Amino acid sequence: MTNQTSTLNLRFFSTSLNRILPNAQAVYLAIILIVSFVLIYTLSNLLMPVFASIVFAYLLEGLVGKIINLGLPRLPAVYLVFSCFVTCLGFLLFYLMPLVSQQTVELIQNIPEIINRTQALVMRLPELYPKLISENKIQQMTFSVQQELLTYGQNVLSLSAASVVGIVSAMIYLFLVPMMIFFFLKDKVLLIDWFLQFMPKQRYLTVRVWEEVDTQIGNYVRGKFSEVFILWFVSFVTFASIGLNYAMLLAVLMGIQVIIPYIGATLITFPVLGVAYFQWGLSGDQFMYLVIAYSIIQAIDGVILVPVLFSEAVNLHAIAIIVAILFFGGVWGFWGIFFAIPLATVVKAVLTAWPRLGDTNTETYSG
């Protein structure tokens, strides 16, 4: 009886394993996925400059390919694209970031005034709605908010003590990352050939998954960067023409908000409308102009930019996107949020290409 039970258990385990890994190529793909995930997860902090360089080189490779298609040899195309990248990086470091930092400091300095005005408005609520809220409750809420802001300020000051180390690390990364990006672009074929020698010869299934993932991730990430730039530029021109305070800071936030689907647009609404309210009040015409312009920008993003830039991207259900953001954001932080949809696309591509029991196509392919 014991031997029969053991035989049945072994047969059940073997059948289950065959359903999950029906052939050798499925085993190779599973090993590649597991090893890649473990390496990225365990070495993400140590090798983050390398991973960032690979991502940027991957993005720039699309531009290099388009220039090569126009008839220019690869090496001049690499130099041209890399020069444009360095120019944009210089603009970001020496113009955009200092301006955003300056406006951030100005906004922080005005926070006490904003809090006082907000408190004055809130204290009027018991007079307007005495049955709904009491003055004592308002005072308790105000005190709690002030304590939270005080704690947050102390945490910021404590973090600033370690900012020197962060600045040194950032300077090192600013030198290493562009250099690695250049060599990843210049020696792409050499690096790929070196990497493929460690891959199994029978890799039809892996190549099939990669081809789908390569197309979808390339379209998504390049489209996302384009969307960020367009929204930043349009928002800055709009906010500056209306005369909104902290126009560059809010425009940068408008660009960054597209990184978090569904949630980012909601979060950025509060600072934009809040700054406009404290600058002009609800009765001013400029506040209404700002609301209309902001609504138009968001509508253009949803109705025009997203369909045009992501027309070739894989459609994912909203629940799948939210779950991907929560999971990968919890694992890798900001980069996990940014690449949540591409990573979800990887999962979908693997599930789509994964061989089913009885599928012999990948067995007979010699790779």
For 161, counting Cβ atoms within 10 Å of its Cβ (0-12 exposed, 13-18 middle, 19+ buried), the class is exposed
How many structural domains is the chain composed of?
Answer: 2
Q: Which residues of the chain are under the pLDDT cut of 50?
A: 10, 12-14, 16-18, 20, 160-162, 164, 357-358, 360, 362-367
Q: Are 112 and 83 in contact (CB under 8 A)?
A: no
CA atoms of 40 and 272, how far apart (whole Å): 37
Q: Verify that 326 and 266 share a domain, yes or no.
A: yes
Last residue of a domain, one of 159, 179, 200: 200
Last residue of a domain, one of 173, 200, 227: 200
pLDDT for residue 7: 54
Whether residue 269 is contained in a domain is answered as: yes
Q: Verify that 157 and 195 share a domain, yes or no.
A: yes
pLDDT for residue 221: 75
- Three-state DSSP class for residue 360: coil
* 220-277: pLDDT as tens digits: 777 888 889 999 999 999 999 999 999 999 999 999 888 776 677 788 888 898 899 8
Residue type, 127: E
Q: Are 355 and 23 in contact (CB under 8 A)?
A: yes
CA atoms of 160 and 152, how far apart (whole Å): 12
Q: Verify that 93 and 39 share a domain, yes or no.
A: yes
Q: Verify that 363 and 225 share a domain, yes or no.
A: yes
End-to-end CA distance of the chain: 45
Last residue of a domain, one of 177, 200, 223: 200
Q: Verify that 130 and 239 share a domain, yes or no.
A: no
Q: Verify that 319 and 337 share a domain, yes or no.
A: yes
CA atoms of 118 and 131, how far apart (whole Å): 21
pLDDT for residue 210: 76
Q: Verify that 95 and 211 share a domain, yes or no.
A: no
Whether residue 353 is contained in a domain is answered as: yes
pLDDT for residue 85: 92
CA atoms of 223 and 114, how far apart (whole Å): 37
Q: Verify that 185 and 208 share a domain, yes or no.
A: no
Whether residue 12 is contained in a domain is answered as: no
CA–chain centroid gap for 51, Å, is: 14
Residue found by looking up tokens 């693997």 in the block: 350
Rounded to 10 deg, the angle between the 163-186 and 188-196 helix axes is: 90
Q: Verify that 160 and 254 share a domain, yes or no.
A: no
Expressed as residue numbers, the domain containing 304 is 203-367
Q: Verify that 289 and 278 share a domain, yes or no.
A: yes
Q: Verify that 213 and 157 share a domain, yes or no.
A: no
Whether residue 28 is contained in a domain is answered as: yes
* 203-213: pLDDT as tens digits: 677 777 777 77
Whether residue 15 is contained in a domain is answered as: no
